[in-house]
Amino acid sequence: MNTSRRDLLKAGVGSLFIATISSPISAFSMMPMHSGRMLPPSKVPRVVIVGGGWAGVTAAKHLKKELGDKVDVVLIEKRKIFMSCPISNVWLGGLVEMDFLLHDFQTPASKYGYHFINATVTGINRHKRRVMTTEGYINYDYLILAPGIRYNYEAWFGKDRDLARLCATKFPSAFIPGSEHIALKRKIENFEEGTFVLVVPPPPHRCPPAPYERAAMIAHVFKKNGIKGKLIILDPKKEIKPKGKGFGDAYKQLYGDIVEYVPNAKVKAVDPVKRVIKTTAGDFKFDDANLNPPHQAGDLAWLAGLVNKKTGWCDVDPLTLQSKLDPRVFVAGDSASVKGFPKSGDMAHNHTQNMLVKALAAIIRGKDPYSAVSAPTNTCYSMVNGKPKEAIVINVLYSIDRKKKAPKKKKVNVVNKRSSQLAESTFEWAKALYRDMFG
Ligand SMILES: Cc1cc2nc3c(=O)[nH]c(=O)nc-3n(C[C@H](O)[C@H](O)[C@H](O)COP(=O)(O)OP(=O)(O)OC[C@H]3O[C@@H](n4cnc5c(N)ncnc54)[C@H](O)[C@@H]3O)c2cc1C
């Protein structure tokens, strides 16, 4: 294999369709493989973390902070650079530079003393407790699986991978960070007139408010550019949720002549060639679109055999995030299914730091994991106006039911009245989390 193709695969660029559309297992067998051991054996328990997104980077730092030299932490990530999905809608709206979303993996790894390996994981042998990558293999005592999500295009196109590929190329979803975001931004900025459709994926999906925030930011760009066009939001739900009033008010008051919200629009069929979507609320023709298929646990979770096929997500202990199928594996971030937890970056950061890491550290110390965990919170800001910048917010506090060994919602606070102050808090929230993960 020549260098340029190998570099592409390492960067995760060439693997987009392999990893998201084809069957995960056949896909990984096409990857280049180094067969040697990557690191010498460790004298202390080794925790291998797969996926350097919001959950994985948080896990690496906080495990080292908890256990110091008593643990060897290895983070494996296929991308060369971290790009944040949170704030990416704000970037789509032209309110922040791309630089704000980008971070490097090396600074926190050297600061907190964990290994960072830039490689694509190609296989997981749970029996041998071994992770195979494009750079070699590594054995683990514990594995934290944090691969994010995959797009379930099969729900729309069945086995027709050509059509799925065409749809993903012409109308990229941009719910997984990378070049799809850049393609979507170009589309929005170059849109001249007509109908632009945004499909809201069915729940549970990554970041419940993200499609609605994205719609507001697209409408802001259309308004700014004086586009004579409609933005149609096709939502499978019966109403906007969460922050329904805040989004609804913004659509009516700021973008009344641009946004048309269509509830109960479950996708029945998508024709990316004729540009038609058939839904339970009628058929819609479009000139351009942001087509978002359903989400599932990331490919690696399937490859590891840890996904509940009925739900498409990983069943875990709701307090420790330990896989229900393998006590040596913990699932962090969006791939994990915990009742009441949204699939958000804030929640990925929170449940990883306060629950998973505390529980795993307790296990490594020989202590009870359940008494070590603490309740998470989840805060999610959504930018709804670009001029002036204005946002809305939801904040959920959880408590822990120690008897039931499960988290429960304690208090939900929603601010639907958009304000500039909340827009400022949006950036402060993001900076604080980036600082924690990368600072
Ligand atoms: C448009 C948008 C806006 C959002 N806004 C917000 C917001 O305002 N607030 C908020 O809290 N959340 C927001 N989110 C949600 C947030 O991005 C996710 O919930 C969060 O990224 C989940 O973290 P994760 O670690 O599970 O997955 P990710 O962050 O996606 O990380 C998964 C990582 O695994 C890596 N990986 C996958 N397979 C392999 C492999 N085979 N080998 C090696 N590495 C691999 C990937 O490259 C990736 O880096 C938003 C999401 C979107 C799409």
For the purposes of burial, counting CB atoms within 10 Å of the CB of 41, is it exposed (0-12), middle (13-18) or buried (19 or more)? Answer: exposed
Per-residue pLDDT tens for 137-194?
Answer: 999 999 999 999 999 999 999 999 999 999 999 999 999 999 999 999 999 999 999 9
pLDDT value at residue 368: 97
Q: For the domain bounded by 3-150+297-373, which CATH number is listed?
A: 3.50.50.60
Which band of pLDDT confidence, cut at 50, 70 and 90, is reported for residue 127? Answer: very high
> What global pTM score does this model have?
0.93
Which band of pLDDT confidence, cut at 50, 70 and 90, is reported for residue 8? Answer: very low
Which ligand 1 atom is the nearest neighbour of the CA of 92? 1
Spacing, Cα 86 to ligand 1 middle (Å): 9
Question: Could you tell which of 334, 427, 437 is best to mutate to test the pocket of ligand 1, judged by most ligand atoms within 8 Å of the CB?
Answer: 334
| Phi and psi, residue 65, nearest 5° | -65, -40
Q: Where are the domains of the chain?
A: 3-150+297-373
Beta carbons of 122 and 33 less than 8 angstroms apart: yes
| Phi and psi, residue 404, nearest 5° | -80, -10
Long-range contacts of the stretch 200-203 (C-beta < 8 A, 24+): 200/233, 200/234, 200/235, 200/236, 200/237, 200/292, 201/175, 201/236, 201/292, 201/293, 201/294, 201/295, 202/236, 202/237, 202/266, 202/294, 203/237
Output 4 or 301, whichever has higher pLDDT: 301
Q: Which pair of tokens denotes residue 244?
A: 């329904």
Spacing of C-alpha 380 from chain mean position: 14
Whole-number percent of the chain with pLDDT over 70: 92
pLDDT value at residue 35: 77
Longest dimension (CA), the chain: 65
3-state SS string for 236-249: CCCCCCCCHHHHHH
List, chain by chain if needed, residues with CB within 6 Å of any ligand 1 atom. 12, 50-56, 76-79, 85-86, 88-89, 120-121, 146-148, 175, 206-207, 210, 214, 298, 300, 333-334, 343-346, 348, 380
Per-residue pLDDT tens for 355-383?
Answer: 999 999 999 999 999 999 999 999 999 99
Q: Which pair of tokens denotes residue 184?
A: 């979507």
